[in-house]
Amino acid sequence: METKKFQRTKEDFTCGKCSVAVSGNGYTNHCPYCLWSRHVDVNPGDRQEDCEGMMEPVKVESKKGGYIIFHRCLKCGVRKKNKSVQNDDFDVIVHLSEK
């Protein structure tokens, strides 16, 4: 059976990097304070990935008035990109874009 390319999964989590409690809205895929994520999805929201490694934000690019955050899994090396959201720490976005 084919899985959907996106599944909305609303859940709260504690950031594995900075330990902040994050309230998820079903689209939340990274910590808004440090921008780190966890490698838990094959397709967005499916929670089917067994790796569960920490996803380091490695760069940010501007796109159509917003920002794209690029993550790299520290455990398996996979690279993924995610849109930033309004409540992401803009200072962290600026810092990453300067790298």
For the chain, the 3-state helix, strand and coil shares in percent, each to the nearest 5, are: 10, 30, 65
Q: Give the integer Cα–Cα distance in Å for 76 and 25.
A: 27
- pLDDT per position as a tens digit, 33-74: 999 999 999 998 899 999 999 999 999 999 888 999 999 999
pLDDT at 9: 83
Look at residue 8 and tell me whether its pLDDT is greater than 60.
yes
Strand partners, 60: 69
- pLDDT per position as a tens digit, 18-30: 999 999 998 889 9
pLDDT at 3: 60
pLDDT at 2: 59
User: Model's pTM, two decimal places?
Assistant: 0.89
What is the token pair recorded at 45? 């929201």
